[in-house]
Amino acid sequence: MYFRVLLYVFSTLLLLGCVGEGETSKSVSEDAAQTPVPVGSEGGVIRFDGTGTLDLEVGAVADGLTLSVDVAQSQAFPDAQNSLSKVYSITPIETALFDKADLTIPLPSDYQADQQYVLARLVNNTWVPNFNSRIEGNFISAEIYHLGIYGIRKLPNVSTFKSIGPACDMAAVQQTIRFVHVADLHSRFGYKERLYSRLKSLHLTSLEENPYTVFTNGGDDYEKGNVAEQVSMGRASSLATQAMEFDVRVVGNHDYAWGEDELLAYAQDETALVLASNTQYVGEKAQGFPTHKFGIIDVGCVKVGFLGMTSGPWNELDKEYKERPLPDFIDNFVMDYEFTEVAEGLVRFYGEQVDYLVMVSHLGWADDRIAQNVPEINLILGGHSHDKPQIHRYNDNQSIVIEPDIYGMGATVIDIEFNLFDKTSRPVRFENDEIQIDTLDINTFHEPLDNKIAEIVKTYLEDPDYKVAISENYPDRNDIEKVLADALMFTHKVDAVLLGAYDLADPFSLYPWQAGGVTQQELHDAFPVERQPSNTLGFNAVYSVEVSGADLESMVGQQPQWQYFGEQQFNPDSSYTVALYKGAALNPSLFFNDVNFENPTALNDSWRVIEEYGRYRTSQCLHLDTDTQLNACKEDEFITLWQFDNSEDPFLADYGPSTMKLFNPDRKSYSDEVIFEKISQLEESIPSLSGFDATVMKFPRFKINEGLKVRHNVDANGDFSEQGLVSDYSLVMDILWPSESVAKYRPLLQTSLNYESEIEDEKKAEIRFESIEGERTTGGVGFDGFCGEMLPDTWYRIALVFYSAPFDGTFKVYINGELACEKTGRNITERFALGEQFLLLTDGTWAAQPGYLNAALFAGRSLSEKEIKMMGGPSAKMTFSQEKATTSETILRHQQSAPGRPYNPWLEQRNKFFK
């Protein structure tokens, strides 16, 4: 691009008759020639072409700049038929100003009063219009922020882009337009929550209620969300956005993330008016950038005008650029950050052609106050702020500004009623709780969109649920960075890792992975990518730098809050390769005194580094975060199964190390009512198990000092292993609650023997069945909110899987092999970890109820989803199959995906086991 710019500037100077900076053009009249003028930071006015002026603000240019203005006829420049007669070359061309300059040019004789004109700058053979241009008397003027080649251009006419709803009913006296608005979706099109599907369903439902519904998008469709975007280099997000079939959308700052080609593809949209009012494409790609500065949509009897603008860029420190000159996002896209002036100009040029003006904005709340300065804008549908949904009214309540929820979690729905005689308008409903819609409250889905998104994801992800690694523990921020450091040392052979430079607390607390299998998506969620500056690695990517031992010791000492991994004794004369986050690597002076880096080397986005490392670890049958073997790569010694059909000792386990017996320290007779009988021999009638007459345990309403006690006899594990506790474990039970037990609290698992605790809450079972009020007959299982739906007098196989952790542990409930719910939160902590013993079917609140138990399984580890799915629903005989074959296949796939890594000879020796 730079070669093309220089070549064009050189050829232009030749056309003007200039052989060097400062020489006067000989191809224009004598009174138009301008002698080079030295300018400085004090600013001043430069006159040219008789009455033309360039008024530089103080500080607009640096001291020592020599400026000249040369004049030529427009025929020597591109698209001359739409230009007026003269073109002004202000050199040095392409100089960005630190503050504005006012450029005023006399109107030539070929000016037509009935035509709209703007000043425009020629960049890469493309004229970039300046919408803050104003014609006053015989002059046209504009604020400019670049020196360059300027001319007067005719503005194109704007025609209707599309029509929405039935044709105008000429007899109607009023009409209501509904706007369904979303913003900052950030590629949250994942298949599990089905957010895009719900939002599209909301749009279609609104269309059924009101055919004059406009579906709008406030920008930022890329980044932070689905990992399919990363794998596809942006394409998946582009396709998902287009599949939503918006009516109007604006380009957001994150939508520049993947560069020119992807942005041009993103702008291709058969249904949407794509707005980029402050952006001009100056590249040469054939498909072009089919966006609009201003667009018109006929909505019934109302002609609605739309403009939309993009906020400023952000840097590798995750901070917005504030100091001028502000950079463009990427090459070949010229930005105008004078938002108010652009809006005023578009309203001035096109406002009279429409009945109602809407700005679809990606500027954020601070700049959406543009509504105060441009009162002609009736409605601003905002985005970019990442704040809670908000509504404001300005200009005596005539201008409305709204911003919806982010990440696809909400939409704003607002109805505007129009008087069709005078086209005045008013919001029909306006209270925040009326117009803000929570996406998860939308219980209808758009199946065609679901199918399309599934197709998009599958194109780039072989299997979204594929586990690239297995984590033994549930990590916090420090643990995750320790894994990243190990990965960097392994994959990139760095000597040391020093991680810090900005606050990673929020991403890590919101997006940790859990113990067990870890997918690409979960790795990406731990390090969500924001490619800043645009079309570069994410701001939490890692770079390597070369420093001396003395400098490394100084760096570690200057940042004691950062995490350091590597040698503790530094040889001051040795050279060290050190990995840092991007912001610190590219800005050493902000973080280290007297330490400089030469040529920092980009390594990769952090999640990609861990992914490569994780695949290798799995290929070696090792956990991602510890050096212990994967459970599925060794004989499972932590599974115990009870079928309760041993006539001599029903509590004797069929296999496994754990033991179970009646808990009856007071030796009261009530526990004698625990009986073991075939279903056909019971006094009462209950269903068989899949047609089989199984032996089951009938248990009574246990008192507080009764129940079933299990001694697990397995090794401590997980986050609380140092306290001797089992943090990660699973419990599976075939259970039936009779009708008389329904609608009552029913304890299931108490993780300790605190049934006599003086603290009331500690007496309660950690996991219990829901007590139901009213006429409901179904219940769920859980503790703080209940999962699933279970009928009385029906057998169910309930599987509980725990990952207890100091912060944000996880608890999963499976019913008949299918995941019913997953809860993550700060209350799944040490209380849910197991000591040596725990209780079943009782607690210290006298709340137990009678029921039936067919079989039980305890695992001193967290069972995988596939293992639980293989167990299926309740059956006469509970069986468990370790995930051997699946793991063998997974490990072989990982070995293939880690070329150049040593093959694991241990795995070959285990072939028989895997079969």
Q: Which of 491, 624, 617, 613 is nearest to 891 (CA)?
A: 617
Confidence of residue 782 (pLDDT cuts 50, 70, 90): low
Strand-strand pairing, 837-840 and 333-335:
unpaired
What's the rounded Cα separation, in Å, for the pair 101 and 146? 8
pLDDT digits (tens, 9 = 90+) for 482-507: 999 999 999 999 999 999 865 444 44
pLDDT at 30: 35
The pLDDT tens digits of the residues spanning 113-160 come to: 888 999 999 999 999 999 999 999 999 999 999 999 999 999 989 999
**Is pLDDT of 23 > 50?**
no
Spatial neighbors of 670 by CB under 8 A, at least 6 apart, are 700, 702, 703, 706
Question: Which three-class secondary structure state does DSSP give residue 511?
Answer: coil
Mean pLDDT of 308-329: 93
Q: Is the pLDDT of residue 909 over 60?
A: no
pLDDT band for position 789 (cuts 50, 70, 90): confident
| Strand stretches in 533-689, DSSP E | 542-548, 563-565, 575-581, 601-604, 639-642, 659-663, 675-678
Could you tell me if 32 and 89 are in contact, meaning their C-beta atoms sit under 8 angstroms apart?
A: no
Q: Is the pLDDT of residue 309 over 60?
A: yes
Provide the pLDDT confidence category of residue 881 given band limits of 50, 70 and 90: confident
pLDDT at res. 1: 37
Q: Mean pLDDT lowest for which of 131-145, 158-172, 443-457, 770-784?
A: 770-784
Q: What is the pLDDT of residue 631?
A: 74
Residue 29 Cα distances to 24, 32, 37, 70, 374, angstroms:
11, 5, 19, 11, 42
pLDDT at 12 over 80: no
Average pLDDT, the chain: 86
**Locus of tokens 């607002």:** 414
Q: Reply yes or no on whether the pLDDT at 216 is more than 90.
A: yes
pTM for this model (two decimals): 0.80
The pLDDT of residue 35 is above 80: no
pLDDT of residue 2: 34
* Letter string b/e over residues 546-558, b meaning 16 or more CB atoms within 10 A of that residue's CB: ebbbebbbbbbee
| Higher-scoring residue by pLDDT: 908, 548 | 548
Taking only the tens place, the pLDDT of each residue in 605-645 is 999 999 999 999 988 889 999 998 887 777 778 899 999 99
Average the pLDDT over 66-84 and give the result: 89
The token pair that represents 535 in the structure block: 């079309």
Calpha distance 255→878 (Å, rounded): 52
pLDDT in tens, 815-858: 999 998 888 766 788 888 999 999 998 887 777 889 999 999 99
Using CA atoms, how far apart are residues 768 and 843, in angstroms rounded to an integer? 10
Mean per-residue pLDDT, 376-399: 90
> Could you give the percent of the chain with pLDDT greater than 90?
63
Rounded to an integer, the average pLDDT of 730-755 is 84
Residue whose C-alpha is closest to residue 675's, from 657, 652, 653, 700: 700
For CA atoms 599, 605, 609, 615, the dihedral sign is: negative
The pLDDT value recorded for residue 27 is 28
Residue-level pLDDT at 784:
64
pLDDT for the residue 515? 78
Predicted local confidence at residue 884, as pLDDT = 52
**3-state SS class at 143:** strand
Beta strand spans in 37-148 (E): 37-39, 44-48, 52-56, 65-73, 83-91, 96-106, 117-123, 126-130, 134-136, 139-146
The phi and psi torsions of 879 (rounded to 5 degrees) equal -125, 150
Tokens (6 digits) for 67: 């400026």
Q: What is the pLDDT of residue 843?
A: 81
Tell me the HSE value of 142 on the side-chain side, using a 13 A CA sphere: 26
What CA–CA distance (Å, rounded) separates 306 from 378? 10
